[in-house]
Amino acid sequence: GPAASDAPASVPQIQLIPASAEGALDAAEEAVDLLLDSGRAPGEVLVISTGDPHPWAAHELSFGEASYWAQHDAGDDVFYADAAALDRAASRPVVVVALNGGSEETAVAALPTALTRASTLLIVCGDPQRINSMLGTAA
């Protein structure tokens, strides 16, 4: 079998939140609010969007990539990233994925990667049937 060192210490719990592509980002926001209300530190949460970037990410990126990623590295706050940037994002206890559009390839690639980034909990907001089939193919 695969070397034990390659495997994460524990597989994160996966939570699905049914949402339309249009509503996925809002659902992700609500999930983040609940996490923070339940005592999660903002720096423990990473939010990934497969379609349009989250307004925070779009705003921060307008100041340049360097300052945007500096905020990621500082780890003081919830960080919002595009699925395309997932390879660059460090792992955090909780990863929230908003399937808010984008190409099918992007979405399909994002979930397995997000699963490797989440150490405790992976929350996926989107069409449950799509998510299940994607996670099924990833397994």
Rounded alpha-carbon distances, angstroms, from residue 74 to 3, 101, 123, 138: 31, 29, 23, 31
Tell me the pLDDT tens digit for each residue of 27-65. Answer: 999 999 999 999 999 999 999 999 999 999 999 999 999
Per domain, the residue ranges of the chain are: 12-138
Q: In Å, how far are 4, 5, 119, 127, 130 from 9, measured between CA atoms?
A: 9, 9, 8, 29, 27
Q: Give dist(CA 43, CA 92) in Å, integer.
A: 8
Backbone Cα Rg of the chain: 14
Domain 12-138: assigned CATH number: 3.40.50.300
d(CA 40, CA 27): 17
Backbone angles phi, psi at 48, to 5 degrees: -115, 135
> Which pLDDT value is given to residue 4?
45
- How far apart are alpha carbons 128 and 94 in whole angstroms? 19
Q: Taking CA 68 as the corner, what is the angle to CA 134 and CA 10, rounded to the nearest 5 degrees?
A: 40
Q: pTM (2 decimals)?
A: 0.89
What's the pLDDT at 9? 58
**Look-up of token digits 């908003």:** 98
Confidence of residue 17 (pLDDT cuts 50, 70, 90): very high
CA dist., res. 125 & res. 139, Å (int): 19
Q: What is the pLDDT of residues 96-111, one digit of tens each?
A: 999 999 998 898 889 9
